[in-house]
Amino acid sequence: MRLCVVDLEMNKPSRKIIQISAVCLDVKSGKMGAKDFNLFVNPGEPLDPFIIELCGITDKKLKDQGVELSQALTDFWTWAKAAGCAKNTSAWGNDISIVIKQSRELGIRCEYPKILDIKEMSTILRCAYPNNKAKGGLLNTMNLFGLPFDGRQHDALCDAKNTAKLLYHFKVITEKYVQMNALLK
């Protein structure tokens, strides 16, 4: 099964999308598809200074490289369908829900995918670490499970790749628990 792992970066306080990225994860092998999806979106407004610092995205970059939201969403669904992962989606939090909602509001044809929230899943699996005081963000969760974070935090493509890596790790952990439970019966 292939699963689309999505990440967004958004401006504040408007929460307009400024970057959409995704990878297609082969859930069985843990390998990501050869072609990633990554587009900058021009929100039609200046970026908040906090967002510029956090994401490293500038107004100039969005003016020069950003596309309209409707084009970005259309391109995303075209990519996801071609990659074979449009029907099964995931994200850290509700990013994929935002993509679906905005696609529908703009009249863009999109899948009605199954959605897996990796942040919610991590909350459940973190319970195995009762003395853990780390906050629950993606970086801290990866550190807790002994996984290195690759790339720059709050770059949507890096975050999508790291979320996919974490998801596959969770799959391996849960498979071991299933096997252990089967042995104990």
SS3 123: helix
Q: How confident is the model at residue 136 (pLDDT cuts 50, 70, 90)?
A: confident
SS3 18: strand
**What's residue 107's pLDDT?**
96
Cα separation, 79 vs 35, whole angstroms: 9
Q: 53 vs 39, 63, 68, 123, 164, CA distance in Å?
A: 19, 17, 23, 28, 25
Query: 101 CB contacts (<8 Å, ≥6 apart)?
Result: none
- For residue 185, is pLDDT > 80? no
| H helices, E strands: number in the chain | 7, 5
- For residue 179, is pLDDT > 80? no
171 phi/psi in degrees, rounded to 5: -60, -45
**What's residue 133's pLDDT?**
65
- For residue 101, is pLDDT > 80? yes
- For residue 78, is pLDDT > 80? yes
pTM score over 0.85: yes
What b/e sequence results for 31-53 when a residue is b if at least 16 CB atoms lie within 10 Å of its CB, and e otherwise? ebbeeebbbbbbbeeebeeebee
- For residue 174, is pLDDT > 90? no
DSSP codes, 45-67: SPPPHHHHHHH---HHHHHHH-B
Average pLDDT (57-63) is 97
**What's residue 123's pLDDT?**
85
Q: How confident is the model at residue 112 (pLDDT cuts 50, 70, 90)?
A: confident
**What's residue 184's pLDDT?**
67
Cα separation, 179 vs 105, whole angstroms: 44
| Sequence ranges of the domains in the chain | 2-184
CATH 3.20.20.140 fits 2-184, yes or no: no
